[in-house]
Amino acid sequence: MNRINQKLKEGKKILSIYFTAGYPKINDTVKIIEDLEKNGVDLIEIGLPFSDPLADGPTIQESSTAALKNGMHTELLFEQLKDIRKSVSIPLIIMGYFNPVFQYGVEAFCKRCQEIGIDGLILPDLPLDVYLQDYEATFKKYGLINVFLITPQTSVKRIKEIDAASTGFIYMVSSASTTGATTGFGHEQQAYFERIAALNLKNPQIVGFGINNAETFDQATRTTAGAIIGSAFIKHLNRFGIDSIPDFIKTIR
């Protein structure tokens, strides 16, 4: 069974952390992953940096630009991760934009992911219809779960289509925004979380965007399987360095 499905079956609220590979320093990737696992993180999204990250706010844009300047690229990331399964057992997802994957070759990319022990991919700009038509078979062949996003504007009809195409979890974007918004969660989000919970989807949901402390983590996970933190973690790394990972996780739970 894929590690993502296994983790979801444990039933505890999932804390997932996103970070940009190659940031702050080019060779921080493995240490960040190991420290996150040691500190009780349940799932990690490894960001493959892209020059034009459309869905990201300033924090992740800047970390991506810095990572590329540091020399991060697809092959190097795979190199850095090649022995990761000797030390890390929690599920690992690569999150990035479609163009770098497309240039690497979708099949070759998926194959490398399987060899390394990557469990899934999140490619926000690979649309559902293109995935189903061109790539679903390849993802399945290499045992990769593709994670789709939904937002408060996604229609019920489309949510059901996405649910049908998903085999791990659904990434629930908390509000109409790019990553890194910090306005907190109000009635609108709660109503959205409850509305989705009431649909009784086959896939669990994990909330992302706008989670930055224990309060927003609790709010986001009341009706869902877990939450993802990205920008807040990157800001923390930026301010306090990679030795301060335990301090960050303590502020969440």
Partner 1 sequence: MSYNADEKGYYGEFGGAFIPEMLYPNTEELRQNYIQIMEEPSFKKEFDHLLQDYVGRPTPLYFAKRLSEKYNTKIYLKREDLCHTGAHKVNNTIGQILMAKKLGKNRIIAETGAGQHGVATATVCALMGIECVVYMGEIDIARQAPNVARMKMLGAEVRPALSGSRTLKDATNEAIRDWINNPVDTHYIIGSVVGPHPYPDMVARFQSVISQEIKSQLKEKEGVENPDYVIACVGGGSNAAGAFYHYLDNPDVGIIAVEAAGKGIDSGESAATSALGKVGIIHGSKTLLMQTPDGQITEPYSISAGLDYPGVGPMHAHLFRSGRGEFISITDAEAMKAGLLLSKLEGIIPAIESSHAFAILEQKTFKPDDIVVINLSGRGDKDLDTYIDYFKL
CB of 220 to partner 1, least distance (A): 17
Which H or E run includes 50?
none
CB of 51 to partner 1, least distance (A): 4
The verdict on whether 45 is a catalytic residue reads yes
Per the DSSP assignment, residues forming a β-bridge with 215 are none
Q: Which of 28, 37, 42, 45 is catalytic?
A: 45
Per the DSSP assignment, residues forming a β-bridge with 106 are none
The DSSP 8-state label assigned to residue 49 in this structure reads -
Compute the distance between CA of residue 132 and CA of residue 179 in angstroms, rounded to an integer: 26
Work out the burial of residue 144: count CB atoms within 10 Å of its CB; fewer than 13 is exposed, 13-18 middle, 19 or more buried.
buried
Which residue number, 30 or 181, has a Cβ lying nearer to partner 1?
A: 181
Compute the distance between CA of residue 250 and CA of residue 253 in angstroms, rounded to an integer: 5
Which H or E run includes 198?
none
Non-local (6+) Cβ contacts of 114 within 8 A are 142, 143, 144
CB of 114 to partner 1, least distance (A): 20
Closest by CA to 7, choosing from 173, 148, 119, is: 119
Which residue number, 36 or 53, has a Cβ lying nearer to partner 1?
A: 53
Which residue number, 116 or 126, has a Cβ lying nearer to partner 1?
A: 126
Compute the distance between CA of residue 243 and CA of residue 85 in angstroms, rounded to an integer: 22
Residue 175 three-state SS: coil
Rounded (5°) CA angle 228-230-234: 150
CB of 154 to partner 1, least distance (A): 7
Which residue number, 178 or 190, has a Cβ lying nearer to partner 1?
A: 178
CB of 124 to partner 1, least distance (A): 4
Binding site for partner 1 (CB under 8 A): 50-58, 61-62, 65, 68, 73-75, 97-104, 124-127, 129-130, 148-151, 153-155, 158, 173, 176-178, 181
The verdict on whether 35 is a catalytic residue reads no
Which residue number, 175 or 190, has a Cβ lying nearer to partner 1?
A: 175
Q: Which of 28, 35, 37, 56 is catalytic?
A: 56
Which residue number, 159 or 245, has a Cβ lying nearer to partner 1?
A: 159
Q: Please count the residues of the chain.
A: 253
CB of 194 to partner 1, least distance (A): 20
Non-local (6+) Cβ contacts of 86 within 8 A are none
Catalytic residues: 45, 56
